[in-house]
Amino acid sequence: MRRSLSPLVRLPANAARHRALTGRELRQGLCTLPARTHPALASRGRISPIPQTPAHNRTCVRQTSSAATATVQNVNNDDIGPIQEYEARVAQGTLRNDDHQRGIIQSLQHLHDELVNYTAPEVQRPTIESLKPAKSFFGGLFKSGPGQAAIGAIPANLPRGLYLYGDVGSGKTMLMDLFYDTLPSSIGSKTRIHFHNFMQDVHRRSHKLKSQHGIDIDTIPFIAADIAQQGSVLCFDEFQCTDVADAMILRRLLEALMSHGVVLVTTSNRHPDELYKNGIQRESFIPAINLLKNRLHVINLDSTTDYRKIPRPPSGVYHTPLDAHAASHAEKWFRFLGDPESPEPHPEVQTVWGRKIYIPRVSGTCAWFTFDELIRQPTSAADYLELMRSYDAFIVTDVPGMTFKERDLARRFITFIDAVYERQAKLVLTTEKPLTELFVSRDELAASLKDEGNGQRESADSMIGHFIEDLGHNVEQLKNSPLFTGEEEAFAFARALSRLSEMGSRQWVERGMGLESQGGKKERDDWTKMRSRRMEDSM
């Protein structure tokens, strides 16, 4: 059960009398939040009832030097969401209406709606004894290191969090304020803290535990459980990693928090791939990056606009799972990648060796298929190459997770991915499973490892999760397993994951789009000519 917290202390009603917070104070962890008085609290005599005022007029100050002091009781009597609050502030004149920001706030609203019906699991606090060094068979396989206790599996119903990144002035603080201020009343308590202060607090707690119980104790699970018990939503301002000590523990810390059902929302100046760049032992930090990208929606706040004045969708090109937001994700990218002068989709037919290929939705040079329309049909590499000659962007929706029984579908889909990659086209997907689970299910992977003698079940779900997150590198261990017909198929599988990762990068997506920051229409024209020459050379 989550810990009950004291309500916020309300400042005098006239917020204008409060001194403005300086940049220095913000960096130290002070910030303004709306505060509402819950009638139930007033009836218990814990705080005096006060008249309700508009959300943007309610102000309080909190200190966020540690996760404990940064946690507050969440009260949202009206259950308004980020979109409603944004529109209220625009109407008041506090904010200026911006279509790009409105699209991002819709992502905040999506998470808000998911949290309405979300209940975090009860926190299972580990014992001190369980955190002391113990031998583990999986320790060698997954390189978890000596003295690291097991971390539980991440709940299947945990909503994907948000990772909002952009340059200074892109509105990160305003967007976080909107989300944090309007969390649904179903969330009992919430935490917001500057990431630097958070990590300092974690190291301080770790040092105290090691002093009390021995230097070999694994403090991460204990600290994560303590933080999770304080609140089920954890918001970070200015996520970054510049310290090797942070880098070495960050992946396990975040994973441990998620295993207790904590939803993470963070802002940053950098894309996850740019975190801890050129840092010491950065290869050990890559799993943390993969965890962020797999478990959080990564959203670009910078308002990039192409020469046609169409805003680039803020989210990445891949969307998981097939939820209520998958359709809008595909539609936004279809409008961006398609023809701005004729955005409505229309069908087309292409002919390959006398056989017709039906393309159900086309706009400009962007083609949109469902997985069944493209992959479950008797298509081949020749068909995909012909599609590449006619279109330079593809949207494939409703991609299922494929088990060994659908190996033919997986091979066909990998052939399509290879064609898209080799022709430098763009690819947008909505998938049932994360990319690393598209071709191999968790159950199949667990069975394969067990067949090879790795049958110990100590935190098996967690260990399988570690294996999957970096499956492109770990696939070497599976090339002789029943999951693949041979080494060549295992290689093709790993290559597909690597190529999907590259095609999801910002550089790949924005190349040739004529973005103003990259040269506008001339950049797009030059790219189109270069791609046409490459296509001619391949004929």
Write down the pLDDT at residue 441: 77
| Domains of the chain, earliest start first | 71-123+153-300 (3.40.50.300), 318-510 (no CATH)
d(CA 118, CA 198): 25
> Across all residues in the chain, what is the average pLDDT?
77
Give the model's pLDDT for residue 164. 94
Task: Please give the sequence-ordered ranges of beta strands (E in DSSP) within 227-365, or none if there are none.
Answer: 233-237, 263-268, 296-300, 318-319, 346-352, 355-363
Region 260-265 average pLDDT: 95
pLDDT of residue 406: 83
Residue 284 pLDDT more than 50? yes
pLDDT at 85 > cutoff 50: yes
Q: Is the pLDDT of residue 521 over 70?
A: no
> 214-218, 295-299, 391-395, 485-489: which range is least confident on average?
485-489
Of 183, 185, 200, 201, which Cα lies nearest the Cα of 68?
A: 201
User: Is residue 9 scored above 90 in pLDDT?
Assistant: no
Give the model confidence (pLDDT) of 130-159 as tens digits. 888 755 544 444 444 445 667 888 998 999
Quick check: bond before 343 cis, omega within 30?
no
**pLDDT of 470 above 70:** no
Q: How confident is the model at residue 42 (pLDDT cuts 50, 70, 90)?
A: very low
Could you read off the pLDDT of 411-438 as tens digits, one per residue?
999 999 999 998 889 999 999 988 888 8
Q: Using CB atoms within 10 A of its CB, is residue 354 exposed (0-12), middle (13-18) or buried (19+)?
A: exposed
Tens-place pLDDT, residues 319-372: 998 988 899 899 989 988 988 777 789 999 988 777 888 999 999 899 999 999
Highest mean pLDDT among 21-30, 238-247, 482-491: 238-247
Distance CA 218, CA 215 (A): 8
Confidence of residue 531 (pLDDT cuts 50, 70, 90): low
Q: How high is the pLDDT of residue 476?
A: 59
Give the per-residue pLDDT at 149. Answer: 65
